[in-house]
Amino acid sequence: MDFPRFDVEGQVALVTGAARGLGRAIALALAHAGADVALGLRDVEADGGVATEVEALGRRALRLPMDVADVDQVRAAVRRTADELGGLDILVNNAGIAPGSMAIDVTEDLFDATLALNVRGTFFAAQEAARVMRERGGGRIIMIGSQAGEVALPGETVYCMTKAAIAHLTRCLAVEWGEHGITVNNVAPTFIRTDGTAPALADPAFEADVVERIAALHRIGEPMDVAGAVLYLASPAAGLVTGHTLLVDGGWTAR
């Protein structure tokens, strides 16, 4: 009898937006579980020490210039991962932005910049990874979406729209690429304590409202809460899971 395995021993992962926040936690969790990790970075000289931490866990780390808004950089980073680390088994599409603006005030520049990172860059990273994975007989692609793809957040209209797009893109790619042994899933967190959410959560009234809306657990999430979901979907234990959005929201969307 084969019992479920929750490790990624001997695999190669690429994590976009790996310098901080969710990307950093995900990169370290994958390394802890046995993967070598390519780190997609906007600035390879400012990785926040994550490469050193990956190596301290006994795994290889590859720092890559990867502005996800630049499709040429995206494609080059995927290919370098495969060439220099010997393949690509796991892609975590984490990089994105969440600029706040009421819909009536959204500018064309804000709209275009949000879609360029959150949708366009994510799509082409997945496309290039799938090309490599087809040659290897399979792989795992994991999107980092948001509960914002399921619920409306005032002042986040464009962001919500992009994360809803990612949830459906996940389903479409899962159907197309399943025959190649590639699973595609989406992890959709609630508010997580990161540098990006710190300014909003610094407002006691806002934090109290968020905690109240996280109806089941009443706590703000931590980056490793999200990393655990990613690790599950990357592991052999999730071999029959594809096209799925896994909400890591403490019960926000349950009520």
State how far the Cα of 190 lies from the Cα of 171, in Å rounded to an integer: 20
CB 178 within 8 A of CB 219: no
**What is the CA angle 52-47-156, rounded to 5?**
135
Q: Choose, from 59, 141, 159, 167, the residue flagged as catalytic.
A: 159
State how far the Cα of 62 lies from the Cα of 39, in Å rounded to an integer: 6
CB half-sphere exposure, 119, CA atoms < 13 A: 18
Cα separations in angstroms, 166 against 62, 172, 182, 245: 27, 10, 17, 9
CA-based end-to-end distance of the chain: 39
Would you tell me how many other CB atoms lie within 10 Å of the CB of residue 72?
Answer: 9
Is-catalytic flag, 159? yes
State how far the Cα of 43 lies from the Cα of 68, in Å rounded to an integer: 12
State how far the Cα of 9 lies from the Cα of 227, in Å rounded to an integer: 16
State how far the Cα of 15 lies from the Cα of 94, in Å rounded to an integer: 7
For residue 255, the 8-state DSSP code is: -
Catalytic center residues: 159
